[in-house]
Chain A
Amino acid sequence: MINEFSIVWAHKERLLVGFGNTVTLSLLATVAALALASPITMALMAQRRPVRALARGLVDGMRCIPFLLLAYIVYYALPTLGIRFDNWTAGLCALVIYNAAYIAEILRGAWASMPREHIEAGLAFGFSGLKLYRRIILPPIVLACMPVLGNQMIQIIKDSAFLTIIAVPELTHEASAIQSMYYVPFAAFVSAVVLYWVLCRLVELAVAGVERRARARR
């Protein structure tokens, strides 16, 4: 077994490149999913019923599809319709769309339970529409659901492992490549698990830090 680990160690660069790609992919996906979730949340809370229904359909639809299948669709099925992405872009798109739906639902919940008074003060002071949302509603609800958003980021990191099936060179893909080349499944996969664990712990620590500062503002 020690021999297995020394083989993996000898190919640590590959594993680290995969790790780096996983980090990059997860960070990009988190930022983009948050950005996309924000207008979806607004649509979920819109006055007009058709807008609401459309957003609700998108969110519920995404939440009922297995992520793996969505990745297949974006990479293998969309080209049939003439929409073609490379595997990196397809993977990123799938991660962003899928998680934006979850994040939008998280933000909607926080918005619905936000004290009416703060919004009312915003209205009374001349905020309306997008400005009201961006300046008065969004910041406190993001702060309020910091721990849940941290969870969602961990979900994104783990979802990114599925992208091995469309050959995105992320951590799972590299671990799998090492194991199939040298037949060292135990060492290769355990090493990947440890790296995922380290990454998720780092996210948890960062979220806890932000959460401490957010608490002062509630």
Chain B
Amino acid sequence: MSVPAPAFLPSAADAAAERPVLEVDGIWKKFGEHDVLTDVSLSVRRGQTVCILGPSGSGKSTLLRCVNWLERPDHGHVYLSGQRIGFRPVSELPMSQAELAQIRARIGMVFQHFNLWPHLTVLGNLIEAPIFVQRRLRDEVIAEAETLLDKIDLRDKRDVYPARLSGGQKQRVAIARALAMRPAVLLFDEATSALDPELVGEVLGVMEELAQDGMTMVVVTHEMGFARDAADEIVFLDHGRVVEVAPPEKFFEAPETERARQFLQRYGAAPRAGLARRRSQRGVE
């Protein structure tokens, strides 16, 4: 299975200024009395794959949802290509729903439970937002969507409704749906956690290829093999705090903190068979 060259178009300004595509700067989030995120920061440069690891309930998903403002952080800033999310420049007033929507359209998201729109066919799911949110030309969008379907090997499911797909197929469609938006960064929220074990591989395969092709990605996952092979950087979260940030070799071979060591032991961090491509082969450093 081969996968699309990334459909995103990095702006020239990004490359010139080398400003990270995504910056999370000291965000805090409370649900009632419970501190879910405490002073979390991270930054993702263009073409990087950052994996966020951590035990269940450590705030990983909330962190992702704070990035595109599906959850509103209590404090802290999030920047997409230098533009602050959630607040207008200069006036610092909160953005309207329409302004937020414009920014969200530049951030792709893949959900744990796929969240495909059930009333639309596979093709319909891919073209809905490019046509109605980005207002791109229908013919052009359909042509691009069909190429994406070829790449995820689901061209024959073009006119099928999501209810007729397997979990793995649904998630591949969900990834293609996000790519059809040509996002600046792609967020994966435990994209394989809801899948039967035998279907995990086909989705991880697509994600691996995307990482190799230089898509900018933030991946919340429990798949240690994927993190080890595909990530440029590991961010380890525990109880809502960033405990460790390291390249995968270092994180998996010689973690600095006791918490990380315990975590790796519990999850058994052996590389996945079939995904044993080493980072060195990618020439990314």
A126, B105: Cβ atoms under 8 Å? yes
Q: Does B164 contact A (CB under 8 A)?
A: yes
Q: Assess the A217–B161 pair: CB atoms within 8 A.
A: yes
Chain A nearest CB: distance from B24 CB in Å?
Answer: 17
Known: A129-B97, A129-B98. A123 touches B70 (CB 8 A): yes
Chain A contacts of B161 at CB under 8 A?
Answer: 216-217
What string of 1s and 0s marks CB contacts (under 8 Å) between B44-76 and chain A? Answer: 000000000000000000000000101000000
| Complex contact B115–A118 (CB within 8 A) | yes
A5 and B181 alpha carbons, distance in the complex (Å):
67
A47 vs chain B, min Cβ distance (A) = 10
Within 8 A of B (CB), among A125-150: 125-129, 131, 135-136, 139-140, 143
Residue in B closest to A136 when the chains form the complex, CB atoms: B117
Known: A121-B115, A125-B133, A140-B118. A216 touches B163 (CB 8 A): yes
Which chain A residues numbered 160 to 218 have a C-beta less than 8 Å away from chain B?
216-218
Closest chain B CB from A210 CB (angstroms):
13
Q: Is residue B79 within 8 Å, beta carbon to beta carbon, of the partner chain?
A: no
A contacts with B, residue count (CB < 8 A): 21
Q: Which of B70, B109, B129 has the most CB of A within 10 A?
A: B129
Do the beta carbons of B133 and A131 come within 8 Å of each other? Answer: yes
Contact, CB under 8 Å: A139 / B133:
no
Residues of A within 8 A of B134 (CB): 126
Interface flags for B120-143 (1: CB within 8 Å of A; 0: not) read 000000001100111000000000
Chain B residues in 8 Å Cβ range of A139: 119
Q: Tell me whether A218 and B163 are in contact (CB under 8 A).
A: yes
Closest chain B residue, CB of each to CB of A126: B105
A120 with B115, Cβ < 8 A, contacts A135-B128, A218-B163 known: yes
Q: Is the CB of B163 within 8 A of A124?
A: no
A19 to B53, CA, bound (A): 68
> A86 at the A/B interface (Cβ < 8 Å)?
no
11 pairs, CB–CB < 8 Å, chain A vs chain B: A117-B115, A118-B118, A121-B115, A124-B111, A125-B177, A128-B100, A135-B128, A143-B119, A216-B161, A216-B164, A217-B118
- In the complex with contacts A216-B161, A216-B164, A126-B115 CB distance below 8 A: no
Contact status A127-B117, CB under 8 Å: no
Query: A131-B132, A216-B164 given as contacts; is B119 within 8 A of A123 (CB)?
Result: no
Given contacts A117-B115, A118-B117, are A124 and B128 in contact (CB under 8 A)? no
A126/B129 in contact, CB under 8 A: yes
Q: Which residue of B lies closest to A116 (CB)?
A: B115
Query: Cβ of B70: which chain A residues have Cβ within 8 Å of it?
Result: 120, 123-124
B interface bracket (residues with beta carbon within 8 Å of A)? 20 to 34
CB neighbours (8 Å) of A123 from chain B are 70, 101, 104
B15–chain A nearest beta-carbon distance, Å: 24
Q: B102 at interface (Cβ–Cβ under 8 A)?
A: yes
Q: How many A-B residue pairs have CB under 8 A?
A: 69
Given A120-B111, A126-B133, A127-B101, 14 additional A-B pairs, CB 8 A:
A117-B111, A122-B117, A123-B70, A123-B101, A124-B68, A124-B109, A124-B111, A126-B181, A127-B133, A128-B97, A128-B100, A129-B97, A216-B161, A217-B118
Q: Quick one: closest A residue to B97, CB to CB?
A: A128
B182 sits at the interface (CB 8 A): no
Give B112's nearest chain A residue, CB to CB. A117
* Nearest CB in chain B to that of A139: its residue: B119
Q: Which residues of B contact A125 (CB under 8 A)?
A: 104-105, 109, 128-129, 133, 177, 181
| Chain B positions 7-60 with a Cβ under 8 Å from a chain A Cβ | none
Q: Please tell me if B113 contacts chain A, counting CB pairs below 8 Å.
A: yes
Q: B116 an interface residue at 8 Å Cβ cutoff? A: yes
The chain B residue sitting closest to A47, CB to CB, is: B97
Asked whether, in the complex, the Cβ of B118 is within 8 Å of the Cβ of A124, the reply is no
Of all chain A residues, which has the CB nearest B109? A124
Cα distance A78–B107 in the bound complex, in angstroms: 54
| Least CB separation from B125: chain A residue | A121
Q: How far is the CA of A218 from the CA of B97 in the complex (A)?
A: 28
Complex Cα gap A131–B105 (Å) = 14
* Smallest CB gap from B101: residue in A: A128
Nearest B residue (CB) for A140: B119
Question: How many angstroms between the C-alpha atoms of A127 and B116 in the bound complex?
Answer: 14
CB distance from B100 to the nearest CB of A (A): 7
A53 to B26, CA, bound (A): 40
| CB of A88 to closest CB in B, whole Å | 36
Return B132 CB to nearest CB of chain A, in Å: 6
Interface residue ranges of A96-127 to B (CB < 8 Å): 117-118, 120-127
The 6 A-B pairs of least Cβ separation, nearest first, read A126-B105, A121-B115, A128-B101, A126-B133, A125-B129, A117-B115
Minimum CB distance partner of B181 in chain A: A125
